[in-house]
Amino acid sequence: MTVLTLNKNEDLYALQLKRKRDLFLSFFSEFTKDLDYFSSPISNFRTRAELGVHVNDSINFTMVKNNKKIFINTLEICDEKINNIINLLKKYVTDKESIKEKLFQAEIQVARNGEGMVSLIYHKSLDTNWIEDAQNLSSKIGVSIIGRSKKQKLVIGKDFVTETYKVKDQTIEIDLYEQCFSQTNPYICDQMLSWVHEREDPSSHVTELHCGIGTFTALLSNIFSKVLATENSRPSIKALKKNLENNFITNVQFARMSGLETLEALNKVRVFNRLKHVNLKSLKKDVLFLDPPKSGLDSLSLDLIKQLNFKEIIYLSCGFPSLKSNINNLLSDYYIEKAAFFDQFPFTDHLETGVILKKRVTT
């Protein structure tokens, strides 16, 4: 049996950080000198883990590395509470047949306030025996338990944890819902939010695409006068609504729409009933906030963005190759004012990048 223990290594971290910083500089230093870098803690920074489950006489958790199943003992990149939960699950689930039978995946989400939830995913229907044992398990471990199988979701406790992000001298509380995308490194998310906060302009409007559950939407509502936020995921839109209500935010209008659909609506290419509650004529094209998937924006979306003539674009990206391609496309109409590298994913090759683009003035 191969056992994986991911240990912190300061020298390795410094090496990979330099490699990613050099890659960041190789592209952006040509365009601006206003460049920032934000490093991550090297251990216990990740607050979510998705694990395979190996059930025999006992229960073990696995990950895949180089196409091989690896058994997990300790994940030092993960929050200490995740490691505690893993050990407690091993201890309490081994003799609970209703919990371990046909269990094939576990997803663990925690917050820095100590809250946690565990999603247990099955190839079977869950019955009253499972509910009783899951209630006992939740009580012993001190976390919410969510059981999921085909067309079934049972919640013991609640299906979210509440993360508090630190932004300058403020805090933002966001409920991170099960099955919704959320930032996995809250320490770097603090830095990203603070970096965006520097763009504060209380007189401006902002349009946000791919808003998710509202982590950045909540911030944008504080620094701009009006926000239009769109997101294509139904669960994320439901979570966004609750997060806006919890934070008493009233200057955000939102709709379930893709980024492309939103741009088509703003360009009057198409009319959508999902936007009938929004007065698009009154929405000023001041700032466009982009946080697309790793694949970036397609060529049609980029063309529509340029036609809309936003004064400023704030672009956050977890896909550096797609970001470079998108930026090169936008440079015909915009220039790069500043950029930042956030080490969201230490010990990987992934770069999280923020870019501020300003509209070129034509004479």
pLDDT score, position 6: 47
In terms of domains, do 38 and 52 share one? no
Residue 142 lies in a domain: yes
Global pTM value: 0.94
> Total domain count for the chain?
2
Annotated catalytic, 318? yes
pLDDT score, position 129: 97
In terms of domains, do 119 and 153 share one? yes
pLDDT score, position 363: 63
In terms of domains, do 67 and 138 share one? yes
In terms of domains, do 22 and 112 share one? no
Residue 178 lies in a domain: no
In terms of domains, do 10 and 95 share one? no
In terms of domains, do 75 and 113 share one? yes
In the set 76, 178, 318, 337, the catalytic residue is 318
pLDDT score, position 4: 46
pLDDT score, position 298: 97
In the set 178, 208, 264, 352, the catalytic residue is 352
* Rg of the chain over all Cα atoms, to the nearest angstrom: 22
Annotated catalytic, 180? no
**Beta pairing partners, 146:** 119, 155
Q: List phi, psi (to 5°) of 2.
A: -90, 130
Across the beta sheet with 35-38, the strand order is 35-38, 334-342, 352-359, 312-317, 287-290, 201-209, 224-231, 252-256
pLDDT score, position 113: 98
In terms of domains, do 330 and 212 share one? yes
CATH of the domain at 25: 3.40.50.150
In terms of domains, do 232 and 340 share one? yes
Residue 175 lies in a domain: no
Distances 308 to 75, 85, 207, 221, 284 between C-alpha atoms, Å: 46, 49, 11, 22, 10
In terms of domains, do 24 and 156 share one? no
Concatenated DSSP letters of 111-167: -TTS-EEEEEEESS---HHHHHHHHHHHHHHTSEEEEEETTEEEEES-SEEEEEEEE
Structure tokens at 93: 């689930």
| Residue-number span of the structural domain to which 124 is assigned | 48-160
In terms of domains, do 76 and 142 share one? yes
Residues 122 and 102: their CA atoms lie apart, in Å, by 6
Residue 172 lies in a domain: no
Q: List phi, psi (to 5°) of 15.
A: -65, -50
Residue 171 lies in a domain: no
Q: How far apart are the first and last CA of the chain?
A: 69
Q: List phi, psi (to 5°) of 7.
A: -100, 150
In terms of domains, do 235 and 348 share one? yes
pLDDT score, position 8: 55
Q: List phi, psi (to 5°) of 341.
A: -110, 125
Structure tokens at 157: 């406790």
CATH of the domain at 109: 2.40.50.1070
Residue 1 lies in a domain: no
Residues 183-214: b if buried by 16+ CB within 10 A, e if exposed? bbbbbbbbbbbbbbeebeeeebbbbbbbbbbb
In terms of domains, do 35 and 54 share one? no
User: Residues in the chain with pLDDT < 70?
Assistant: 1-8, 363
